[in-house]
Amino acid sequence: MHFLNNLVNPESGERLTLLYYLLSFVSTMLVTYMAIAATGSSLSLYFNRKGLKKGDRIYRRFARNLIDVAMPGKGAVAALAGLPIVTIILIYAELLYNTNADVTNFITGSAILIIVGFMFLIAYRYSFRLEGFIESYKKLTPSQKAEIGDASIVDIDSMEVSAHQTRRRAGLFGTVLLWVGMWAFMGGSNLALNGQAWTKDAGMFAVLFSWTTIWSFIHFITAAVVIESAAILFFFYIWDGGLGASNDEAYSSFVKRFAMNAGLLFAIVQPLIILIDLTLVPSAARDGAVFGLAGLGLLIVFILVHFFFQMLKGRKIRLGSYAFIGVVVMVGAWMTAKGVSFSQSNRAHYQLMADNYDKMLSELPEVQTAKINGEDIYKQTCSACHRFDRRLVGPAYNMVLGSYEGKMDDLENFIMNPRQVLQGYPPMPKQGLNEAQVKAVAQYIMNVYQTEEKNGTATYTK
Ligand code: HEC
């Protein structure tokens, strides 16, 4: 993405630090939401199929509710996935300014996969509504159907079959694209961690199939199940009054049991995953903060295990809100640790960029504020009316400056705001100079006058 190099500027040290924080924050948002979207759509697909096969109402309702939570609407998807990923591309472009890193290519590729995936999933979600419509149509009596129109126009059975097919395909494509997109995302962010890889042409497959990328992806999948479980409990039962799941006893207890068990199981394996993660941090990126954040992650995971366990025991669904906050903090710790590793492993580049920025700053004044020169101002402005040795429009400087010796403030004040002083002269017009220019020109004419006076050449004619 070399064209981005033209868009970004070297950054100051302070702004770079700010960018690392921003990167961690938007990555947390993206990874949390993508976990819900990818796991939710996978589970929805699975339960939809199972529900159709067995004709089970509970599975089919679960499939519908899962996709409703995973895809809250186009606007929400754009805000939760689109905005963060575009921000991440721009931040990497700034942070890796002038390196040959393929990081932005990877993340851009992942963004495209994810966007296309969401388009399929929009169709998938919509097909549930179509199904609802078809079902209510089928329930109508023949006379009601006749009232709506000629029933034979719509071959409702073939419509149903094609709706099911579209749904299966759209759901499958969409879900696979989301997962592959996140895999590429993990590849890109790992590439960013490994400074040595930037200079070489990394090669897409080498990055995607490297052990660190595969491991990060496994980390993502397992964490995603915990996140999705907490999200199910939170969005099905608590957020905004829930999805009405509680009104249906059989359905409700099925969903709770599923989410609590899945959450507990996958939370239990997280500590091991976090520990293996630590062994994979590049040596250049080892830093106290990385270990501290891993510690925080472990703590959160233990709390999550406790929550899921408590909920399973007593079905205290209220703990679902805390579990949801917990998973967000868990992702936050993970992403911040990645951000810190990233900043550590490219300290050299970071320093170089901050130096570049300082250099750029130090070169700026010459360009921007051309040096103020008293002689130039005299020549350009004052000499139209003044000479040192004779009267022009205004009096000879050699005549008037003697009274200003040791009173530079008065001289500057006069030049800034001329008043009528001398008999037989018109008033001097205001010259419209700024303070620095007035100081410079006053200094210049006074210097010339004093030198001439010392040399005895400060003569004038009236
Ligand atoms: C358009 C003509 C004009 C220009 C341009 C002009 N002056 Fe004057 N200047 C005058 C006139 C006329 C006077 C006499 C005014 C008076 O005594 O009331 C004067 C008077 C002065 C005096 C004498 C003040 C005193 O106390 O006797 C100084 C010093 C002076 N000008 C400095 C400058 C400087 C410095 C500049 C350039 C930044 C400048 N002038 C530009 C017309 C001009």
What pLDDT, on a 0 to 100 scale, did the predictor assign at position 110? 94
The mean per-residue pLDDT over the stretch 90-118 comes to 84
Range with the poorest average pLDDT among 192-206, 251-265, 424-438:
192-206
Distance in angstroms (rounded) separating the CA atoms of residues 397 and 387: 6
What pLDDT, on a 0 to 100 scale, did the predictor assign at position 154? 62
Range with the poorest average pLDDT among 9-23, 84-98, 270-284:
9-23
Contact present, 63 and 72 (Cβ < 8 Å): no
- Which of 386, 412, 414, 439 for a ligand 1 pocket mutation test, highest count of atoms within 8 Å of Cβ? 386
Give the N- to C-terminal CA distance of the chain in Å, as an integer: 72
Looking from the CA of residue 422, the nearest atom of ligand 1 is 17
Q: Is the CB of residue 428 below 6 angstroms from any atom belonging to ligand 1?
A: yes
The mean per-residue pLDDT over the stretch 91-106 comes to 76
Residue 366 has pLDDT above 80, yes or no: no
What pLDDT, on a 0 to 100 scale, did the predictor assign at position 96? 77
Structural domains of the chain ordered from first start: 3-361 (no CATH), 374-455 (1.10.760.10)
Q: pLDDT tens-digit profile of 126-178? A: 888 777 777 777 777 777 777 766 555 567 777 777 778 888 899 999 999 99
Q: How confident is the model at residue 290 (pLDDT cuts 50, 70, 90)?
A: confident
What pLDDT, on a 0 to 100 scale, did the predictor assign at position 25? 93
- Interval between CA 374 and ligand 1 midpoint (Å): 15
What pLDDT, on a 0 to 100 scale, did the predictor assign at position 362? 67
What pLDDT, on a 0 to 100 scale, did the predictor assign at position 395? 94
| Residue (of 44, 72, 71, 65) closest to 248 by Cα position | 65
Q: Whose CA is nearest to atom 21 of ligand 1?
A: 394
Residue 98 has pLDDT above 80, yes or no: no
| Residue (of 350, 361, 357, 296) closest to 17 by Cα position | 350
Q: In Å, how far are 48, 113, 124, 155, 309 from 158, measured between CA atoms?
A: 19, 32, 18, 6, 47
Range with the poorest average pLDDT among 91-100, 265-274, 292-301:
91-100
Q: How confident is the model at residue 1 (pLDDT cuts 50, 70, 90)?
A: very low
- Interval between CA 408 and ligand 1 midpoint (Å): 15
The mean per-residue pLDDT over the stretch 218-243 comes to 89
